[in-house]
Structures are given as C-alpha cells and as structure tokens.
Amino acid sequence: MELANLIDGFKLYLCFLPLLTFHEFGHAWVAWKCGDDTARLQGRISLNPLAHMELVGTVILPLLAIFSAGLIIGWGKPVPVNPYNLRRRRLDDTLVSLAGPAMNIALAAGLIALAKVGLLLNWMPVAGELVQVAQFSLFLCFFNLLPIPPLDGSHVLKNFIGMGEEAYGRLSQYGFLIVIVAFNFRFVQEILSKATRLTLNLLAWSFGLHA
C-alpha cells in the first residue's frame, strides 16, 4: 500500500471520529429530552470521542479498512436507552434512533456552507476537503440507517412493525456479523453510494455549489 494512500486513510479516520461523536451525542441528547436519562447518567451527552468509542466498530474495522484500502465503515458504542422511560415509547425510540443520522446530515450541511465560504475566499483545496468530509458524513448517515442491529435503521424498522424488545434482543446477538456480511453485497454498496451522492448534490445545489 502506498504511503500517500495510507496517509489519506488516516486523515479520513480522523474525520470519522468527530462525525461519530456528534452522531452519538445526538442520540443521547434526544433520549434525555424524551424522558430517558440513562445515557446522561453514563456520561454520553458529551462531545468527547472517548465517551462514544467502541473497540470493533470505532477502532478495528475502520483501521482494517485503511490498511486494506477499503471504504471506512464503523459505528460507535450504542447509546443506552431504556424504552420504558420514554414518554411515547415507540415514537420517541424512533426519534432517538433518527437523531444520529439527522446530526450527520446537519454536519454535512454545515460543511457544505463552509465550503461555499472557502470558494468565495478562493481557498479551493480547503473547499474540496470540506466537501469530501461532508460526503463522508452523509455516507455514515445512510450506513447507519441500514435496518440491521445495532444500526439505527433497525430500531426504526422494529418500531414500525411492532417487534418486541425480547425478539429484537435475540436478533441483535448476530447484528455485527450481519452488518459485515451485508456490506459486502454490491447492491448494498450501490444503495449507500447513490443515497449519499443524491443528498450531497442536493445540499451542494442549495448552497450554489456543484458536487
């Protein structure tokens, strides 16, 4: 593997950590606002990356992707949510689940706005880097929306079909393995790529950019 590619991979990983941190912060904050303070009591309403890092999803898989020249995928330590503390159990659990991906979209919008400023100041390389990080943030958004435990989309699907907590817990035992296998299917990669590109183009158009 070329040194330049390795350096680029580590740069992307360094961008991954704050994106993941804001993602998990969003989950914890919304859970607290919806009546469950479990995450708050465990120090998860925090912008400290260490509070949200998980060995497999935050360290091992992303670093393996760097050394294998693959696309970085990963997740943080699941935010603890007691659904019985939520005011509107299934609705609030869905809102908590969507808060992380929504945070990634908000971050992407902010990065595109900064890229627009960079272009106005003729800082082309900076603007280009900001657009790439925005694209990465959107990819993480849609990756986490896959309906596979422990990803956020699985909670949305669980609440939509009325799946019980016990059945969901049994399914979650195999979640990490299913995520890794599913991501190796080409059609899954294509869905994520198209959703990311479409949203990036929409945000870029909103700020007068061409992604």
Cβ neighbours of residue 180 closer than 8 Å, sequence gap 6 or more: 61
CB 15 within 8 A of CB 72: no
Residues annotated catalytic, as ranges: 24
The Cα–Cα gap between 160 and 89 comes to 12
Q: What is the DSSP string of 27-55?
A: HHHHHHHTT--HHHHTT-S---GGGT--I
Cβ neighbours of residue 124 closer than 8 Å, sequence gap 6 or more: 118
Pick from 179, 199, 197: nearest CA to 188: 179
